[in-house]
Structure 1
Amino acid sequence: MQNTHQDINAILKSARQAVQQGQFASAIDTINNALPGTHEDAASSNEPKQDTHVSEQANDLQQDTHLNVKAKVELLYLRAVALRLSQHFTQAIEDTHTILSLRPDHGRAFQEQAYSYKALNQHRQAASAFYQATRFNPALLASWQQLLAIYQQQNNARAESLAQQHISFLTSLPKPVLGAYDLMYDGQLAAADSVCRRYLQQHNHDAEAMVLLAEIGMKLKAYHEAEFLLESCVALHPEHERAAVSYQGLLARLGKYPQAKTFAEKRLQNQPDNFTLQVAYANALVGVGELAQAIDIYRSLLESNNDRPAVWLSLGHAYKAEGDRKAAIECYETAAQLMPEFGDAYWSLANTKTYPFSDAMLETMAEQAARDDVGLEDTIHLCFALGKAYEDRQDYPAAFEHYHRGNTLKRATIDFDIARTEAAMAAQQEACQKDLFARKAGCDDPAPIFVVGLPRAGSTLLEQILASHSQVDGTMELHDILTIASRLSGQQTPYPFNLASLTDDQCRRLGELYIEQTQAYRQGAPFFIDKMPNNFIHIGLIKRILPNAKIIDARREPFACCFSGYKQLFGDGQEFSYSLSDIGRYYRAYENLMDHWHTVLPGEVLTVQHESVLDDLEGQVKRMLDFCGLPFEAECLSFHETKRVIKTPSSEQVRQPINRSGTKQWLPFTEYLTTLFTALDQFPESSR
């Protein structure tokens, strides 16, 4: 069907007009014809029906099996509004449940649900739904006002004060800014961006609008612009706390921990007792590897108040990075005991990869995951933790059920289209041909060793092996290449096509910028590792600005790699990993792009197969060292004895001698992985 998008817009416009004019039955009829499953009783009315043209469009849409989730959600939301306003409350609630099954973070659906519960005098359910509405869309002023009344009736002074603070903040915002916040939380990022920019054109350097535009930019992954906005905002408005908090958080998110540490130190001079700021400072210290000082801060905060689950979690992460598994586990267990629904505490235990969950803890986790009043993020974390716990017990049906639920919930909260990613990788192939690299430009520093590939492909193991060499510093997953790519994306000729127009001087300066920014993570060795897996997409950029850099591709057998990624709840990014189809297509696109790099950059990328490392550790170690121009050192074979900060999910695994325990973990799940095999266009031998 060719004009689906236009038809959806026409139907939505017709339904909105009908709602605005009080013609609720007409709106419901319009939407019923566009969606399978109608509310015919609610639609019966003497009000006029929609025109024939819109009706024909709706019939076309109903036959279109590819009606996208966003369109379904918009149609269902409008129908829920019309049903509630026509006093069909139970049916309106049914629609909100359907919306939330598709978009579990849809704040306005919770608000609609709450109004209908309130009309039915189901006050407990209404209060819970209003609360969820504000969690997912903090700009919903009406929900905050409803909560304020509820808290006043309950004499809940603390909650009442919090609600009043939010109401005061929202009512203080200019209407366009408040509207843009609402649009952003509702997932309408382009519209929010447009409204905010128009307001800033009329009110230059308005602090709230700058903070909001930066937040929208972060959601759109325009990190360079977001950083510039917040850096400018804190310079122009040094007393604006929300701008400072946002900037601090963005620096951490971008992995710019040295800058985050310096900024926190500066803020602490004026606010030495600010709890949130002390936590942010400790987090930055962990980021730069100053673990002892970070642990002291966390401990100090807990001494003044032991009931802080999130601080216990952060302390556990610091101990884990340090290699103190026992202390980390004790912290995670304490966090879970203090807050039984705290999903991240259980996931952190599962993410040690070796923690045995007791029967009692497994029962607690299952109870919490089944509750409908537990937060979405907690539920997602619980599902992944339960998946790991059941897998360890060899209860594979239960394990996959929870992995699937966790991934489905997570996938529904992100705006990801695998086709866009495939197109971005295809653009790299189109833009980066052999002639682009005909002569070496850029910074000639040979220090960087990039380890790239897919997550869960063995890159941390390769990093640990190389970092055991006396001439190589291990660092972490550095964001600097991604930041430079983002910076280039904002130019008139889009990235990566503008790589060809970069002058030698521009390439040199970008390479020097990278070397300068990564200096803070080094300890003085001649070479250092940048282990950001996603950098495989940007090998063309790397070779333009750092022509002497070494690039190692950590490759793993596709079934094992993809399923391991599917089981992993990542802290940020890796959106492709939450669907078996997406992750299979991503792996194929990655293979195609790596084949391209080998063609246009012959001999410049070394592929290291994970299974080969397991079979012949010494041979593969010598091969990597030869590629990097490094002499053999036996310490690289005893990599598990190397003491260094490691913050990836594989931290505990690379502190053990080489083993093959993870090579066939997908096999017991074979019956559930048909979607993955189809996306990969590869099938296990037994299923052929």
Structure 2
Amino acid sequence: MDNRQSRRRQKKNRNSRYAHVMQQAQKCLKDGAMREAEIRFRNAIKADITAAEPHHMLAIMAYQAGRLEEAGNHIIEATMRGDDDPAIHADCGAIMNMLGRPQEAEAACRHVIDMDPDHIEAYNNLAVSLSLQDRYDEALEICDAALERRPEYVDTLVNKANLLVKMDDPVAGIEAFAAAITLAPENPVARVNLGAALRLVGELNAAEVQCRKGIALQSNYPEAHVGLGMVLATRGNFEGAIAAFQEALRHRPGFGLAQLNLAAARFKTGDLKAAEAAYRDIIAAHPKGAPAQTGLGVVLLADGRLETAREAFRAAVELDPSEGEAWLNLASALGSDMPLEDVAQMSELVANTRLSLEQRIAIRFALGEVADKRGEYDDAFAHFREANNDRQTAMMKLDKVYDPAAMDELAERIITLFQNTDAPADNANTSKQPVFVLGMPRAGTSLVAQIIASHPNAESRGEAASISSIVPDFPEDTRDRGFGSAGDRILASLASSALRVVDKTPFHFMHIGYILQNLPNAHIILCRRDNEDVALSCYFQNFLGEHPWANDLSNIRRFMAFHDRLVDHWRSLYADSILELHYETLIADAETECRRLINHIGLPWDDRCLSFHKARGPVLTASNWQVRQPLYDHSVGRARHYYAYLDPIRPRLDRT
């Protein structure tokens, strides 16, 4: 009897002590004395080791302070002591999602819903956990179930919108984001995510507005600065993008998405050393991160370190087999030597709908590349056709459809604007430094740029887009804007001390008249290649930009007709200023054609131009594997292997 009474007294005292310590802890928390509150919650655990609430409160405090591992440990302890507390398990779901442990998050959220079928936060966190497991359809169903219970719940609207974007329906996602903003116009998360979706559909002005509104609402929100940086990078404003990513990292050091995008932006500026260092830092901190390995591989490839680039791409697909860009680069590097087990794995991956469409498209292009190199031409074309059909479907969802009539009108406007060879603009820059290598994509522009860059007095800036960035609304608006003349700003954007600097943006074939008005001594190199080979090479290329013409052979023919119409016009006006180089002639008689090229740009001959594949310096184009090899002729007449498939491009194409 005495023992029982003693135990009751001890329990009562323990309960009293626990209640007193918890009361002190809550007061400290209310007063903002976070350190003192944490100490008292830990004392409460000592006072009653069976209590769940101190662990719960410590989990919330650690989560809010960004100490996610600590938060995870405490919330698990809390769930073990409070199995019947929905609030604890709901917070467990949120924290497990943040820790990248979606299966545990799913279990916690389902347990909450079993206890409380109308717990909206549990539905929302359950949808997040399913999304993290690539179970998008299930996640969407859970979002709809939550919104049936509470249609105005903004977090779920944002979650649903993000799911729709992941499911390759950004237009529907934009509508859901807009609904969320209507309900909560001061919500920075909805604003920034809307900006990301608008960027995907090409609405860059609106995307930038939303990101900047998100920053105005919460200036220390890292995702807002990353969103802005991604919009600026899409516009080609890489310096602005770098500043935005750095600002994100200032607010959240070690933020992976900001680090990856910062490294990519540095690469785009041509600063390979900084880009490589950034990727290696990410890999050191996160050795299991596949995207950084892929990014590192791209940098090493651009720098001509082919073997180490292959090693990085191999590491990427071993860490994450869904890394489509890494597979595609491995296929380009290995070709017919691609191991059979790799081909088998890629064949399984393209059928896996849990991969994003972009990942599956890249892997499908990789399979086509391998089959082509093995001489399995029917299989190769089947893979390329499937990849292009998927790309076309994705672009149609974004309302990006090739309009040949609109392109005819564009050609007419350009021709009307540039009718004669009038004197250069009054403020034209007469420098002989710039060289513009242009023409149809896949017509040899990368090869020609690399030959020039191998000269000791020249360098290439890759596809610098130095003209289209100056006059983004060409030809509707060609007015001179900003400080200095257009010619001055074009040269400034190329930023080179070499005697000759190359911009090899193929699509500048539209701007030849504008170039020669503002840079009358610029050197224009027009690259030409057999029409069927160009068309096929475009069809086999996984273009990452917005090129809806490239996914259909008939549209490729129409785009080539657009190109030829403009080129014929420029030749009629500026024949003496334009050097035409034919790929087939360059392959057949390299030295003669290289001498013509170097002479045209006003440099003395240098034998190193014939060893262009040995030249150091960045190659920032889709042809970076090819230009690191000596000249070869197996791409000449490549279309003959696909004769049966090329009827759509033949009716109106004359072979050059």
The within-5 A match list for 1:26-425 is: 148=127, 151=130, 171-172=153-154, 186=169, 211=192, 215=196, 218-219=199-200, 221=202, 223=204, 234=215, 238-352=219-333, 354=335, 356-414=337-395, 415-419=400-404, 420-425=406-411
- In the other structure, the counterpart of 2:475 is 496
The within-5 A match list for 1:478-497 is: 478-486=464-472, 489=473, 495-497=474-476
- In the other structure, the counterpart of 1:561 is 534
- Asked if 2 retains the 8 angstrom alpha-carbon contact of 1:453 and 1:535, the reply is yes
> How far is the alpha carbon of 1:637 from its aligned partner?
1.9
Per-residue CA distance 1:514-551 (angstroms, 9 max, x = gap): 223332xx3x2132111111111122332333333222
The within-5 A match list for 1:570-649 is: 570-649=543-622
> How far is the alpha carbon of 1:245 from its aligned partner?
0.9
One-letter identity of the residue aligned with 1:512:
D
- Asked if 2 retains the 8 angstrom alpha-carbon contact of 1:192 and 1:216, the reply is no
Aligned residues with identical type, % of pairs:
24
One-letter identity of the residue aligned with 1:456:
R
After alignment, is 381-390 or 167-176 more displaced?
167-176
> How far is the alpha carbon of 1:259 from its aligned partner?
3.6
Per-residue CA distance 1:133-179 (angstroms, 9 max, x = gap): xxxxxxxx999859639859x9x9xx99xx99x99999447999999
- Asked if 1 retains the 8 angstrom alpha-carbon contact of 2:402 and 2:548, the reply is no
Secondary structure at 1:480's aligned position in 2? coil
After alignment, is 187-196 or 643-652 more displaced?
187-196
2:429 aligns with one of 425, 429, 443: 443
Structure 2 residues not aligned, in runs of 5+: 1-105, 107-119
> How far is the alpha carbon of 1:348 from its aligned partner?
1.9
Residues in 2 aligned to 1:147 and 1:174: alpha-carbon distance in whole angstroms: 11
Residues in 1 aligned to 2:613 and 2:627: alpha-carbon distance in whole angstroms: 6
Residues in 2 aligned to 1:299 and 1:438: alpha-carbon distance in whole angstroms: 48
User: Cα 1:191–1:644, aligned 2, differ >3 Å: closer, same or farther?
Assistant: closer
- Asked if 1 retains the 8 angstrom alpha-carbon contact of 2:158 and 2:177, the reply is no
User: Cα 1:496–1:293, aligned 2, differ >3 Å: closer, same or farther?
Assistant: closer
> How far is the alpha carbon of 1:225 from its aligned partner?
7.1
User: Cα 1:144–1:417, aligned 2, differ >3 Å: closer, same or farther?
Assistant: farther
> How far is the alpha carbon of 1:658 from its aligned partner?
1.5
- In the other structure, the counterpart of 1:8 is none
Structure 1 residues not aligned, in runs of 5+: 1-126, 128-140, 490-494
TM-score norm. by structure 1 comes to: 0.66
Residues in 2 aligned to 1:144 and 1:597: alpha-carbon distance in whole angstroms: 62
2:417 aligns with one of 431, 449, 455: 431
- Asked if 2 retains the 8 angstrom alpha-carbon contact of 1:181 and 1:192, the reply is no
Work out whether 1:462 is the aligned partner of 2:448.
Answer: yes
User: Cα 1:560–1:217, aligned 2, differ >3 Å: closer, same or farther?
Assistant: same
Work out whether 1:660 is the aligned partner of 2:633.
Answer: yes
Residues in 2 aligned to 1:553 and 1:219: alpha-carbon distance in whole angstroms: 32
User: Cα 1:292–1:516, aligned 2, differ >3 Å: closer, same or farther?
Assistant: closer
Determine which structure has more spread, i.e. the larger CA radius of gyration.
2
User: Cα 1:182–1:305, aligned 2, differ >3 Å: closer, same or farther?
Assistant: closer
Per-residue CA distance 1:418-471 (angstroms, 9 max, x = gap): 413333233212222116656664333332211111211111111111112222
One-letter identity of the residue aligned with 2:437:
V
- Asked if 2 retains the 8 angstrom alpha-carbon contact of 1:556 and 1:609, the reply is yes
Residues in 2 aligned to 1:423 and 1:178: alpha-carbon distance in whole angstroms: 40
User: Cα 1:609–1:353, aligned 2, differ >3 Å: closer, same or farther?
Assistant: farther
Residues in 1 aligned to 2:386 and 2:373: alpha-carbon distance in whole angstroms: 18
- Asked if 2 retains the 8 angstrom alpha-carbon contact of 1:181 and 1:212, the reply is no
One-letter identity of the residue aligned with 2:401:
F
Residues in 2 aligned to 1:228 and 1:445: alpha-carbon distance in whole angstroms: 38
Residues in 1 aligned to 2:127 and 2:565: alpha-carbon distance in whole angstroms: 55
One-letter identity of the residue aligned with 1:462:
V
After alignment, is 461-470 or 274-283 more displaced?
274-283
Per-residue CA distance 1:236-276 (angstroms, 9 max, x = gap): 85323333112221333334334433443444344332222
> How far is the alpha carbon of 1:309 from its aligned partner?
1.6
User: Cα 1:399–1:151, aligned 2, differ >3 Å: closer, same or farther?
Assistant: closer
Residues in 1 aligned to 2:261 and 2:151: alpha-carbon distance in whole angstroms: 23
Work out whether 1:669 is the aligned partner of 2:653.
Answer: no
Residues in 2 aligned to 1:337 and 1:302: alpha-carbon distance in whole angstroms: 14
Per-residue CA distance 1:95-146 (angstroms, 9 max, x = gap): xxxxxxxxxxxxxxxxxxxxxxxxxxxxxxxx9xxxxxxxxxxxxx999859
TM-score norm. by structure 2 comes to: 0.69
> How far is the alpha carbon of 1:187 from its aligned partner?
6.0
Secondary structure at 2:447's aligned position in 1? helix
After alignment, is 339-348 or 218-227 more displaced?
218-227
Work out whether 1:536 is the aligned partner of 2:522.
Answer: no
- Asked if 1 retains the 8 angstrom alpha-carbon contact of 2:160 and 2:173, the reply is no
After alignment, is 643-652 or 459-468 more displaced?
643-652
Aligned-residue CA RMSD (Å): 4.2
> How far is the alpha carbon of 1:599 from its aligned partner?
1.6
Residues in 1 aligned to 2:492 and 2:128: alpha-carbon distance in whole angstroms: 54
User: Cα 1:191–1:332, aligned 2, differ >3 Å: closer, same or farther?
Assistant: closer
